[in-house]
Amino acid sequence: MQRFINNPDDIVDQTVRGFVRAHADRVRLDAENNRVILSNDTPKQGRVGIVTGGGSGHEPAFIGYTGRNMVDAVAIGELFSSPTAKSFQDAIRAVDGGAGVAVLYGNYAGDNMNVKMASRMVAKAGIEVATVVANDDVSSAPKDEREKRRGVAGEIFMWKIGGAKAATGANLHDVIASAQKAIDNCRSVGVGLTPCTLPAAGKPNFQIEPGMMEVGIGHHGEPGTRIEPLKPADAVADDMVEIVLEDHDMPAGTEVAVLVSGLGATPINELYVLYDRMADRIEAAGYKVHRGLVGNYFTSLEMMGATLTIMALDDELKTLLDAPTNVPGF
């Protein structure tokens, strides 16, 4: 493996230590749990706390979105594996300012169970918890089974909106409503060009043959909806826009936010190549791009590929999306 690794078992601890050192002006490690990162701004009395969490290997997600007016605490799991219920519990406790805590996370079996257990544990301590479960990946289940879909890069918009709403002093109900609206307004699709390797395994656990691409691939290499020969960037961009727009009932003239994220090993310049064409197609379909985000926002170790997320905006979402934040990832 051509990777920067010491002992594979230590990689998450070392990632977290490095992250906290690099961004000490914005984040700190929880005093008791080294798998919980906190914003330096949290807790704030009377303010709804924002918690998320998930497996490692997606950096800058999830930790990179910790800071002022976005995520207050992140529970950190092993590579591609849900954080413990204990870590979610500690994250919730750390950010509780008496106004309740919104846990905004992605739809994965382990995260669902661990958040559920953590919510039960903190309920005993009198902390009110409400959740939004992201399900923006259109390829992971049919439209009439949206509750089964995975959460992917749309989570970033959900955190941005939820965190900005909490910063206005809104109550838990309203923070949840805005975060839910954000993810309901998001649709995403991923295209993978190469597999990724968990260092402890030493080899990829799935394959994408050279010259092929996997459309609809998940953030952990979950198989996509089709495998086909790799096409020129514009044709791939067209397919991705089509898949997202087909699933997304947006009236003409809708303003949108567009997020193109690399999956880890794709050069950033290629993401701009994709974005240029995607923005063309989105505008040609009658939509107005209010804001475009291009870069490595939500990765899958060293997978090559990209995801596209389109969020339909209204006045509230636009204001909250553009509100200032100091998180390292956004």
Of the candidates 226, 198, 162, 183, which has an alpha carbon nearest to the alpha carbon of residue 300? Answer: 198
Which range in 82-90, 239-247, 303-311, 318-326 contacts another protein by CB under 8 A? Answer: 82-90
Question: What are the residues facing 307 on neighbouring strands?
Answer: 190, 261
Measured distance CA(143)–CA(166) in Å, rounded: 30
Catalytic position from the list 23, 219, 220, 248: 220
Q: For residues 253-292, which are near another protein according to CB under 8 A?
A: none
Q: CA-based angle 105:208:223, to the nearest 5?
A: 35
Measured distance CA(67)–CA(314) in Å, rounded: 25
- Is 188 a binding residue for another protein by CB under 8 A? The answer is no
Question: What are the residues facing 257 on neighbouring strands?
Answer: 291, 311
Binding mask 127-166 for another protein (x = CB under 8 A): -------------xx------x-x----------------
Cis peptide before 195 (omega within 30 of 0): no
Residue closer to another protein, measured from CB, 7 or 249: 7
Residue closer to another protein, measured from CB, 84 or 325: 84
Active site residue 173: no
Q: Could you say which of 17, 116, 173, 226 contacts another protein (CB under 8 A)?
A: 116
Which range in 80-88, 244-252, 273-281, 304-312 contacts another protein by CB under 8 A? Answer: 80-88
Min CB(205)–another protein separation in Å: 3
Q: Are the C-beta atoms of residues 240 and 188 closer than 8 Å to each other?
A: no
Residue closer to another protein, measured from CB, 140 or 296: 140
Considering all CA atoms of the chain, what is the largest pairwise distance in Å, rounded to the nearest integer? 56
Count interface residues toward another protein (CB under 8 A): 33
Q: For residues 199-238, which are near another protein according to CB under 8 A?
A: 200-201, 205-206, 218, 220-223
**Helices marked H in the chain — which ranges?**
11-22, 85-95, 109-123, 154-167, 172-184, 233-247, 268-284, 315-322
First to last CA, the chain: 30
Q: Are the C-beta atoms of residues 26 and 330 closer than 8 Å to each other?
A: no
Measured distance CA(303)–CA(258) in Å, rounded: 21
Which range in 104-112, 127-135, 245-253, 258-266 contacts another protein by CB under 8 A? Answer: 104-112
Q: Are the C-beta atoms of residues 104 and 74 closer than 8 Å to each other?
A: no
Q: Are the C-beta atoms of residues 256 and 289 closer than 8 Å to each other?
A: yes
Min CB(108)–another protein separation in Å: 7
Binding mask 8-47 for another protein (x = CB under 8 A): -x--------------------------------------
Min CB(83)–another protein separation in Å: 5
Active site residue 220: yes
Catalytic residues: 58, 220
Binding site for another protein (CB under 8 A): 9, 77-87, 108-110, 113-114, 116-117, 140-141, 148, 150, 198, 200-201, 205-206, 218, 220-223
